[in-house]
Amino acid sequence: MSYIVTGGAGFIGSALVAAMNEAGINDIIVVDNLGSTEKWRNLRGKRIADYIHKTDFLAMVEGNKLPSGVTGIVHLGACSSTTEKSLDYLMRNNFSYSTVLANYAVRNRIRFVYASSAATYGDGALGYDDDPALFAKLRPLNGYGFSKSLFDLWALERGYLSTICGFRFFNVYGPNEYHKGDMSSVVYKAWRTIKEGQPVKLFGSNCPEYKDGEQQRDFIYVKDCAAVLINALKTPSVAGVYNLGTGTARSWLDLARAVFAALNLPERIEFIQMPESVSKQYQNFTEARMERLKGSGLLGQLLSLESGVADYVVNYLEKPDPYL
C-alpha cells in the first residue's frame, strides 16, 4: 500500500506526513511545488518514497501513469491565500486540479481525502453547519473560499460525497507554517513579536457587538488535524464533507494570552485599526458545528487552546530547529 499527499511539503501536509511516519507509514509520495521556497525544510527527517512536482503529477494522473499500488490520496495542495486576487489562478489551482484528481480516484477506487475550508461559510450568516443541504446557499467572502465551495458543490452534484471525504479546516496553527508569511497563524506572529521585545498587536473591533480582541475563531492544532486525516484514510466507509475545528470559539485575546503564558511572560497587547481591505471580508466569529464529525468516529481527543499553544511554543518555536 502506498499513499499520495499533495501539498505534502506545506503546513498541514508535512504535519500529516510526520504523523503517518509515526504510525509506521513510510510509503508516501509527496506532491508539491518547492521552487525556491523554504518548504523543503518541512520534509527534513521525514521518510517518503518519492517527491513529484505538482505539474508533473497532474500530467501523470491525466495520462493514467501513476504507480501501481496507490491506495489513498490526501489532496491538501492548493493556494490557501485569502487575499489572492487572481480568480483564474484559483480556479486552475484549487478547483480544476481537484476535479481531475477526484475523477481519477473515484474511477480507480482509490480513497480520496481532501481539504475544503471554513472560508466557504463567508460571513457566517447561515451558521457553520456542514449539512450538504446548505452547500448551495453559502456565500464565501473571497476567491479562495469560492474555489473551495465550488469543489464541494461539484463533488456533491456528482454523487462523489458518498465515497470521498473532505474537511473544512477552521483556524489551524502549529509547527511547519514558517514559510506562509502573512498567512501564518497569529500564534507564530505573536511569538516572533514577543521575542523582538515588542507588544503583540491585534486588530481592534470593526463591529459594535465585539470589544477589541474579543472577535472569536475556532482554533485547532495541526497535530489534531493530522490525526483526523489518518483516521479518514483508514476508514473508507466514512464519506462526505465535515467541519474540522474544535467546536469551541475562542477570542484573539485568549490566543495571545496563551502565547505569553507559554513563555511565562507578562502580557503586552495593543490594538490597531483594522484595514478597510480586511474589514470588508472579516469574520468576527467562527465556530464549527462538530456533531457530524463526532458521529463519524474519526475525531479523537483534541488539545485545548492553551495546551496546543504551549506545545507549539515550548517544543518547537523555542527550540533551535522549530520544525515538526
Q: Which residues are catalytic?
A: 144, 180
d(CA 187, CA 178): 11
d(CA 152, CA 133): 12
d(CA 97, CA 30): 16
Q: Helices 305-312 and 222-234, interaxial angle, to 10°?
A: 100
DSSP 216-285: EE-EEEHHHHHHHHHHHHH-TT--EEEEES-S--EEHHHHHHHHHHHTT----EEEEPPPHHHHTT--SB
**Beta strand 216-217 with 250-251: parallel, antiparallel or unpaired?**
antiparallel
How many residues are there in the chain?
Answer: 324
DSSP 281-323: T--SB-----HHHHHHT---PPPPHHHHHHHHIIIIITSSS--
